[in-house]
Amino acid sequence: MSKRLFVGGLPYSVNDSKLEEMFSAVGIVSSATVITDRETGQSKGFGFVEFEKDADADEAIKKLNDTEVDGRRIVVNVARPREERPQFGDRGGRRF
């Protein structure tokens, strides 16, 4: 399985294709996705990149972490697994 990277601190102008372009200089990118707000479509300033080879992902972390993109410093590291969240807005502590 390919290694998934978290990329934070992205300028809001960066889209999926720009993100892929930035990381393809290091190796073959399987996917590059900028996370956007559901309602507005505006970037949330972070995204995820997957490489075909784990070695390329490791190299991307070394080369691109703490670099500047359009005036902003980006953070690149291995993505953590997604945490389970309660469904249907159940946050506990309901009153009946």
Tens of pLDDT along 63-92?
A: 999 999 999 999 999 998 877 777 765 565
* Within-domain flag for 31: yes
Q: Rounded to whole angstroms, how far apart are CA atoms 70 and 53?
A: 27
Rounded to two decimals, the pTM is 0.83
What is the pLDDT, as a whole number, of residue 90?
56
Does residue 96 register a pLDDT over 80? Answer: no
**Strand partners for 50:** 4, 31
Per cent of the chain over pLDDT 90 is 79
Q: Considering the domain boundaries, does residue 17 fall inside one?
A: yes
> Residue 63 falls within a domain, yes or no?
yes
Inside any domain, residue 90: no
Asked whether residue 86 is domain-assigned, the answer is no
- Cα(40)–Cα(73) distance, rounded to whole angstroms? 24
CATH number at 74 reads 3.30.70.330
Q: Which of 59, 73, 60 is nearest to 11 (CA)?
A: 73
**Number of domains, the chain:** 1
